[in-house]
Chains A and B, each alone.
Chain A
Amino acid sequence: MNFNATLIGQSITFVFFVWFCMKFVWPPIMNALEARKKQIADGLAAADRGKHELELAAKAAADNMRDAKSQAAEVLAQAEKRAAQIVEDAKNAAKAEGERQLAAAQANIEQEANRAREGLREQVAALAVAGAERILRREVNAQSHADLLNQLKAEL
């Protein structure tokens, strides 16, 4: 074993190699490894998040479906109620109209009957006067007897 300047040369070489490795070899490789690790972790996290979001979306969809169904049922019930209402209203209106027309017809009939009765009454009075004329066989003064005849007419 004899030592010489190789010792110093080797030390310098060693220091230089370590410096180079520290500067240009280790950091890029380590960074790449770290970045890859992070990317993988991020990917896994994103997958988890996606799964979670899918679950949420499925749940929201089911909720929406249920809401829509209940809304539709509500609308349907309302429509049915409204239809029944309309039918009922129409029925009532028709009934009222019928009654009104009935009343009018009855009034009309009564009026007709009164008019007929009046006519009959005048004819009976004329017949009575004509009868009296025949009985008296002579013409009485119609004018002097008008009061009497009118009184008779009113009594009939």
Chain B
Amino acid sequence: MAEAHTSGEYIKHHLQNLTFGQHPDGTWGVAHSVEEAKAMGFWAINVDSMLFSIGLGVLFLFLFRLAAKRASVGVPGGWQNFVEWIVEFIDDSVRGSFSHRNAMVAPLALTVFVWIFLLNLMDLLPVDWLPWIATLAGVPYFKIVPTTDPNVTFALALSVFFLVLYYSVKMKGPGGFFAELAFQPFQSKNALLKLVFMPVNLLLEGVSLIAKPVSLALRLFGNMYAGEMIFILIALMFGGGVLLGVFGGVLQWAWAVFHILIITLQAFIFMTLTIVYLDMAHSEHH
């Protein structure tokens, strides 16, 4: 595989999603370069990202549903025990960070954590395995880690952001939410001063509000993208002779071990911030 390309092409190939959409000339098909994908505009879809995220999500829900169906008061079995351990861990996290009553937050946190963890986990598969099989099957591009696709991370972050907006308005009312944005951090008892401060406050609070989903999405995307990039760079060594190949193998192993920490941590951070943002949406400030 790698020998057939230059290093640059190899890296580009690995960072390209399998995008399906309408070409500018009106035909439907798969984009063969970043430029072609861009030319398809918004109404194209990354088939590989969708396939793996839905597949892994269904796997997660299927396995957990299995445990949920068998859940009983009696002594739990192995898988049952594992699921209960995760559920209790999530429940503790939610109880620790979320101080209101909302039946949706804990299941949301569970979904976010396990799903993102599974999506990240795909990073540990050697970078060439699945794309190679896909190439044999005639699929030109195959990016198997959905969290290295900004579409995926932004979709997650924006969904959380809309929940934050929804609960902000629901809990505080539109006026209360606006007041939170307009009358702090600069406060005054004087009505005129209040009016003067308002644009500044709106700017500051608006930026910090928008920064939430953007940072949430970019943090996850950046970490996973960088990790994937390092795997790809290490994989380049396998084409450079026996000595470099062995060295690359050791490096890949070491990076994979370290990466186990990163993927878990990123999933955990995303979950915790989701809970914290929703908690802030429920709380009255000042």
Please give the residue numbers on chain A whose beta carbons come within 8 Å of chain B beta carbons, in ascending order. 1-11, 13-15, 17-18, 20-22, 24-33, 35-36, 39
* A7, A22, A31: the one within 8 Å of B71 (CB): A31
Residue from the list A2, A15, A24, A39 in contact with B159, Cβ < 8 A? A15
- Asked if B50 and A10 sit within 8 Å, CB to CB, the answer is yes
Q: Is the CB of B71 within 8 A of A4?
A: no
Contacts of A32 in B (CB 8 A): 71-73, 84
Chain A residues contacting B40 (CB-CB under 8 Å) are: 4
Distance of A10 Cα from B83 Cα, bound (Å): 25
Q: Which residues of B contact A9 (CB under 8 A)?
A: 45, 50, 155
Number of A-B contacts (CB under 8 A): 120
Docked CA distance A26–B103 (Å):
10
* Contacting pair A21 B73 (CB below 8 A): no
A-B contact pairs, 16 of them (CB 8 A): A4-B45, A6-B45, A6-B46, A6-B50, A7-B154, A8-B155, A10-B151, A10-B155, A10-B156, A14-B155, A21-B107, A25-B61, A27-B68, A32-B72, A32-B84, A35-B73
A6 B155 Cβ-Cβ under 8 A: yes
B37 touches A2 (CB 8 A): yes
Number of residues on chain B facing chain A (CB within 8 A): 49
Please determine whether A20 and B50 come into contact, CB atoms closer than 8 angstroms.
no
B152 at interface (Cβ–Cβ under 8 A)? yes
Can you list, as one digit per residue, whether each of B157-191 has a CB less than 8 Å from chain A (1) or not (0)? 01100000000000000000000000000000000
A141 to B104, CA, bound (A): 163
The reply to whether the CB of B245 lies closer than 8 angstroms to some CB of chain A is no
Q: Which of A6, A18, A31, A35 contacts B152 (CB 8 A)?
A: A6
The reply to whether A4 and B43 contact each other, CB–CB distance below 8 Å, is yes
- Residue in B38, B46, B68, B107 whose Cβ sees the most chain A Cβ within 10 Å: B107
A20 to B57, CA, bound (A): 11
What residue of chain B has the Cβ atom nearest to residue A10's Cβ? Answer: B155
Given contacts A2-B38, A30-B91, contact A22 B155 (CB under 8 A): no
The residue of chain B having its C-beta at the shortest distance from the C-beta of A8 within the complex is B155
| B53 contacts A13, C-beta separation under 8 Å | yes
Give A9's nearest chain B residue, CB to CB. Answer: B50
Q: How far, in angstroms, from A4 to B43 measured CA to CA in the complex?
A: 6
Which residues of B91-118 are within 8 A (CB) of A?
A: 91, 103-104, 106-108, 110-111, 115
The answer for the CA separation of A24 and B41 in the assembled complex, in Å, is 37
Closest B residue to A4 using CB positions: B44
What is the CA–CA distance of A18 and B113 in the complex, to the nearest angstrom?
A: 11
Q: At the interface, yes or no: B87 with Cβ under 8 Å from chain A?
A: yes
Contact A39 B34 (CB under 8 A): no
Asked if B266 CB lies within 8 Å of chain A CBs, one says no
Query: CB of B271 within 8 A of chain A?
Result: no
Report chain B residues within 8 Å CB of A27: 68
In the assembled complex, B237 has its CB within 8 A of some CB on chain A: no
CA distance A30 to B71 in the complex (A): 9
A residues within 8 A CB of B19? 4
Q: Name A4's contact: one of B21, B104, B156, B158 (CB within 8 Å).
A: B21
CA distance A27 to B106 in the complex (A): 10
Known: A5-B42, A10-B156. 10 other contacts (CB 8 A): A2-B37, A4-B45, A6-B152, A10-B49, A13-B57, A22-B103, A24-B61, A26-B68, A26-B107, A29-B84
B140: chain A residues at CB < 8 Å are none
When A4-B43, A28-B71 are in contact, do A18 and B87 touch as well, CB less than 8 Å?
Answer: no
A12 to B282, CA, bound (A): 24
Task: Indicate with 1 or 0, residue by residue over B53-85, a CB within 8 angstroms of chain A CB atoms.
Answer: 110010011001101110111000000000110
B72 partner residues in chain A, CB cutoff 8 A: 32
Within 8 Å by CB of B87, from A4, A13, A33, A39, lies A33
Q: Measured between C-beta atoms, what is the minimum distance from B84 to chain A in Å?
A: 6
